[in-house]
Amino acid sequence: MQPEKAGKEQLILHLNFKVMAKKAQKIKKGKRSELLMVNLNAAGIDVSSTEYQVCVPEDRDDDCNRRFDAFTCDLHSIARWLKSCKIKTVAMEATGVYWIQLFMVLEGYGFDVVVCNAKHIKNLGEKKTDHVDAGWIQLLHTYGLLTESFQPENNIREIRGLNRHRDKLIERCNQSILRMQKSLDMMNIKVHKVISDIKGKSGLALLQAICQGEKRPEELIKLVNQRVKATKEELLKSLEGNWTESQIFILKQNLDSYFYTKKQIKELDSKIEDMLKVYVSFIKKNKKDTEDKELIRSKKKMDANNAFHFDAEKYSHEILGVNITRIAGISGLTAMKIVAELGVDFTKKFPTDDKFSSWLNVAPNNKISGGKLLSSKIPKRTNYVGQVLRVAANTLKSNKGYLGDLFRAKKARLGYNQAVVAVAHKLARIIYKMVKDQVEYDDQIEIEKNKLNMAKRVAYYQKKMEKSQKMLLAMPS
């Protein structure tokens, strides 16, 4: 079977057992130390949109630093040439999206591919060209000096792409809603100020009727559901305005765009579910433990606006082995985003929860010099999963449980933004622990911590009252 035609099942099995590149090692020689060459069969690739510069050790080929075009046939030519040069591990920098297809092709051929942050590969002291950059990457990788970026397996990468596209479609829906609200404001129609959710059943019914030419408030009000809290007088006044044909036309086009995008999201959810079924079946086939764990539901109220059109809680449990939606702040939508970004084996790629939190960019970045902490400021770096956990942490500000108490305590001491990051860090550590040890979230632990927090609070206020009483008694009569 040709590597480019290999099935997904064979690819997953290969990825689970491939040999990883070695890290830098030193050997002491008297009073000095010497850096060892740990990856003798290493290649380096400089990536761009139209070409790839590939460098192998000098003893493997007369032309050891070659240029290749970026067409698909050239990607396979690179892989075949590296095979002929007996290369086992390849390093490249993450340049835009141009490295992704080469990465997938090389993995399909059985190479250990190391993708690095471009900031970590700085060419020192020599004129910058693609030829020089490829040689420099190959040299660094030979000595094990490159830090590998996290990469999920190829199958989950497809689900991740669909999930990120879904976020864009939701953003497009929100933009359509904002444009519709603008059109209503331009006509001085204030119904979106009176009805809390213009995307609800009553709101959309009103917008459709307006687009069809209905302008009489007494007729429009009949479409409003009785559960709407606004009074009849408020609704009548909100539906009076200066009707203009141009704004009604713009409103109609934005409403059509909203309905079309919602239809696309539903189709996309169907596609994501199909791919999840395939992914789950591969996971179960390759698992040593064939027993399916029982799903313990979180019993949370799901947000109907942006929720998936399938059981996200069930699929996230089947992939991770635990139900992370039982954690406060983690919904089915959030759980599926985490699964789509990390895949099933992310705990194997991060040896500790500290490493995982650091990659998520939710852990303090301590800078120490002379034994003193100079700064712990988190760097300005975007991480998708880190952003998802920040959003989840933000929902805990009014939570009555332990994590809500933690959020409010951090907010009082550090400020709102720092509290969001601190609680996101806590969520990351809980998720890592659950997935790595395959343990479900224990509600009893949270209850015990709540009791402990309440006891501390009572003791604090009792101490404060005693102090106040002593001060009152000491005051002259």
At 299, is the pLDDT very low, low, confident or very high (cuts 50, 70, 90)? confident
Residue at a domain's end among 237, 269, 301 = 269
Q: In terms of domains, do 238 and 169 share one?
A: yes
Expressed as residue numbers, the domain containing 230 is 156-269
Burial of 213 (0-12, 13-18, 19+ CB in 10 A): exposed
The pLDDT assigned to 128 comes to 81
The pLDDT assigned to 11 comes to 37
Query: Residue 113: what are its φ and ψ, rounded to 5°?
Result: -105, 125
pLDDT digits (tens, 9 = 90+) for 83-103: 999 999 999 988 888 998 999
pTM (two decimals): 0.81
At 288, is the pLDDT very low, low, confident or very high (cuts 50, 70, 90)? low
For residue 10, is pLDDT > 80?
no
Cβ proximity of 112 and 19 under 8 Å: yes
Q: In terms of domains, do 194 and 216 share one?
A: yes
Centroid of chain to Cα 262: 22
For residue 2, is pLDDT > 50?
no
At 29, is the pLDDT very low, low, confident or very high (cuts 50, 70, 90)? low
Q: In terms of domains, do 344 and 387 share one?
A: yes
pLDDT digits (tens, 9 = 90+) for 362-414: 988 888 887 887 778 888 888 899 999 999 999 999 888 888 988 998 999 99
Cβ proximity of 381 and 361 under 8 Å: yes
Average pLDDT over residues 48-69: 93
At 432, is the pLDDT very low, low, confident or very high (cuts 50, 70, 90)? very high
Lowest model confidence (mean pLDDT) among 23-27, 213-217, 241-245, 287-291: 287-291
HSE, CB side, 13 Å, CA atoms: give it for residue 96: 7
Q: Using alpha carbons only, how large is the chain's radius of gyration in Å?
A: 29
Q: In terms of domains, do 133 and 161 share one?
A: no
HSE, CB side, 13 Å, CA atoms: give it for residue 412: 5
Q: In terms of domains, do 301 and 446 share one?
A: yes
For residue 28, is pLDDT > 70?
no
Sequence-ordered list of residues with C-beta below 8 angstroms from that of 300, at least 6 positions apart, any chain: 325, 331
pLDDT digits (tens, 9 = 90+) for 136-161: 999 999 998 888 888 887 778 889 99
Q: In terms of domains, do 239 and 306 share one?
A: no
The pLDDT assigned to 36 comes to 85
The pLDDT assigned to 118 comes to 81
pLDDT digits (tens, 9 = 90+) for 206-221: 999 999 999 998 999 8
Beta carbons within 10 angstroms of residue 365's beta carbon: 12
Q: 18: helix, coil or strand?
A: coil
The pLDDT assigned to 315 comes to 92
Q: Which residue type is seen at 303?
A: D
pLDDT digits (tens, 9 = 90+) for 412-428: 999 999 999 999 999 99
pLDDT digits (tens, 9 = 90+) for 327-344: 999 999 999 999 999 988
Residue 459 lies in a domain: no
Sequence-ordered list of residues with C-beta below 8 angstroms from that of 319, at least 6 positions apart, any chain: 276, 279, 280, 283, 339, 343, 344
Residue 464 lies in a domain: no
Residue 31 lies in a domain: yes
For residue 46, is pLDDT > 80?
yes
Q: In terms of domains, do 246 and 315 share one?
A: no
Q: In terms of domains, do 373 and 248 share one?
A: no
Residue 467 lies in a domain: no
The pLDDT assigned to 176 comes to 96
**In terms of DSSP H, where are the helices of 222-375?**
232-238, 245-286, 312-320, 332-342, 346-349, 353-360
For residue 292, is pLDDT > 80?
no
Residue 262 lies in a domain: yes
Q: In terms of domains, do 344 and 429 share one?
A: yes
Q: How far apart are CA 135 and CA 127, in angstroms?
A: 12
Q: In terms of domains, do 361 and 332 share one?
A: yes
Number of domains in the chain: 3
Higher pLDDT pick, 189 / 372: 189
For residue 16, is pLDDT > 70?
no
For residue 296, the 8-state DSSP code is -
Residue 357 lies in a domain: yes
Going by C-alpha positions, the residue among 103, 108, 61 that lies closest to residue 86 is 61
Q: Which residue type is seen at 364?
A: P
For residue 33, is pLDDT > 80?
no
Q: In terms of domains, do 40 and 122 share one?
A: yes
Sequence-ordered list of residues with C-beta below 8 angstroms from that of 74, at least 6 positions apart, any chain: 52, 68
The pLDDT assigned to 4 comes to 43
Residue 75 lies in a domain: yes
Residue at a domain's end among 269, 302, 326 = 269
Domain of 110, CATH number, reads 3.30.420
Residue 461 lies in a domain: no
Q: Which two tokens stand for residue 400?
A: 């009555």
Give the mean pLDDT of the chain. 87
The pLDDT assigned to 339 comes to 94
For residue 3, is pLDDT > 50?
no
Q: In terms of domains, do 137 and 161 share one?
A: no
Residue at a domain's end among 221, 236, 269 = 269
Centroid of chain to Cα 256: 30
Q: Which two tokens stand for residue 419?
A: 């509290």
**Quick one: what percent of the chain has pLDDT higher than 70?**
91
At 260, is the pLDDT very low, low, confident or very high (cuts 50, 70, 90)? very high
The length of the chain is 477
